[in-house]
Amino acid sequence: MPTRLLAAALLFAAIPPLLAEQPCSSLSAITLPHTTITSAVDVPEGPAPPAGVGNGAALVAPAHCEVQAIARPSKDSEIRLQVWLPVSGWNGKYLQVGNGGWAGQINQGSAAGPLRRGYAVAATDDGHTTAAPGASWAIGHPEKLIDFGYRAVHETSVQAKAIVRAFFGRDAERSYFTGCSDGGREALMEAQRYPEDFDGIIAGAPANNWSHLFTGFVWNEQALAETPIPPAKLPVIQKAVVAQCDASDGVKDGLLEDPRACNFDPASLLCKAGDGSDCLTEGQVAALRKIYSGAKNPRTGKQVFPGWPMGTEAVPGGWATWIPALQASFGNSYYGQAVFEQSNWDFRTLNFDTDVEFGDAKAGPVLNATNPDLRSFRDNGGKLIQYHGWGDAAISPLSSIEYYESVRAFLGRLPDGRREKTDPMDFYRLFLVPGMAHCGGGIGPNDFGNGVNSARIDADHNILSALEAWVEQDAAPAKLVGSGRAVDDSTKTLTRPLCPYPQTAHYRGAGDPNVAENFACALNATAR
């Protein structure tokens, strides 16, 4: 038995099971390693809190037992976790939901949907309760940064599963994790560091290359500092891109199935003289090119972080929200607080060579989830589904492709020179969503159960159900079906197959282009 499994078995053996019909408050009596149960109360059926990042609208939560606890695996740790246990209809499974941004709060709103499906659910604040955005809590607290980086999610998994066993009298038969943004980073971190924690993992729009992602944020901030592109010009840019490249997938519908196939040149929008509402100045053209091309090391020319794709510049929740706005806040907090520990750090001083290297060395080992070696997760029977919107202005979807390709390359040539016969698609699939913004929203087929509170729960239309089918029935998802509103007519429903990378959806040439059945998944010219 692996050491980690043996330790878990000993932990669970030390906890006397309680009968599920006993009062929820009985859970206050159990003892857990370096963890204190602070509350265990019955909660009647009622409205749930607002949902978290990318997790849809709030629902009515069924009656459940709510347990709150604090784990202190280090002297400076204060990891708050919450567990929701259905008082009836438990499906025998455990689901942990991730966080967003720099965390600091428990994603309570994402519990209602899984509870309604019979899951025992848990979440954590990642080890701090700082309400303001940023990483001020990390200054002088390296253990808290470790908690945020990876330890809090793992600790929550261990302690929450023990609570599940104590309440129901048996272990969960299956364990799943789902998260988007930082929650997506947490998802990949679990697959890499703790491959036995979960049977199935959903990683949405993962911020897994944390140090380089925030470098990309500062890159964009610098690019727009002197020559900003007004939000009013974003529709002009998007319209020009779509006009040139929309038909590449066989149908003109306002969506680019794969923006990498588009060779739009921002110079085509250059003002003939001065400035105008329907054109770009030379400085704006240069800034736009920098955003599209991504951050580079000025000394070596090496790509530090990929650029942001074209074709969704004006979608709701897109560039106007993130570039540079929220990106600046996150980029400045990473370098100013987590790396240099200077509250007055100036983004204009960032050296994209030496400072990036320093940040990688200091914070990267704790925050980055970029290890391509997923063999332990695979060999443990784990299944991983990753998704990312092509219209994500927060985290470039190209970074998800970059990570997937790194896994494929690693398996293709192991450190000892051997080649694996396993194709990543045997246990790991990536779905890219045309038009979708960060974790959801935007335009196009952006609803496929990516919000854990989604109403549709069949495996074709719900990513969690698709993961269950893959883990429990070995039915790998050949596609997902996303739904939304047609771009050119919001009164019409749009459905579209979401294909596992490197495939994309191609119009069959006949039938309503708003109907998924009229598209087929196939490789395109940009697929490797």
CB atoms inside a 10 Å sphere around CB 81: 26
Token pair in block for residue 527: 């697929």
How open is the CA angle 456-249-245, to the nearest 5 degrees?
115
| Catalytic (active site) residue 181 | yes
Measured CA distances, 108 to 47, 50, 452 (Å): 12, 8, 12
Whether 190 and 154 have beta carbons less than 8 Å apart is answered as yes
Bridge partners, residue 96, by sequence? 122, 177
Q: Which one of 181, 400, 454, 465 is the catalytic residue?
A: 181
* 206/100 Cα distance (integer angstroms): 10
Whether 334 and 135 have beta carbons less than 8 Å apart is answered as yes
| Catalytic (active site) residue 392 | yes
Bridge partners, residue 122, by sequence? 83, 96
Q: What is the DSSP letter of 268?
A: G
Q: How many residues make up the chain in this entry? A: 528
Nearest residue to 269 via CA among 282, 259, 256, 260? 282
* 110/147 Cα distance (integer angstroms): 21
Taken in order 204, 442, 288, 326, is the CA torsion positive or negative?
Answer: negative
Q: What is the DSSP letter of 279?
A: S
CB atoms inside a 10 Å sphere around CB 5: 11
Whether 100 and 184 have beta carbons less than 8 Å apart is answered as no
Taken in order 329, 214, 194, 119, is the CA torsion positive or negative?
Answer: positive
Token pair in block for residue 108: 């309570």
Peptide bond into 502 cis (omega under 30): yes
Q: What share of the chain is helix, strand, coil (3-state, %, to 5)?
A: 35, 20, 45
Whether 429 and 386 have beta carbons less than 8 Å apart is answered as yes
Q: How far is CA 422 from the centre of its chain?
A: 25
Whether 24 and 43 have beta carbons less than 8 Å apart is answered as no
Q: Which one of 64, 154, 388, 438 is the catalytic residue?
A: 438
Contacts of 454 (CB under 8 A, 6+ apart): 56, 113, 447, 462
Name the amino acid, one letter, at 480.
Answer: L
Q: Which one of 249, 258, 392, 447 is the catalytic residue?
A: 392
- List the 383-389 sheet strands across, edge first: 35-43, 64-71, 79-86, 120-124, 93-97, 174-180, 200-204, 383-389, 428-433
Host H or E run for residue 520:
strand 519-523
Nearest residue to 495 via CA among 446, 430, 452, 456? 446
| Positions marked catalytic | 181, 392, 438
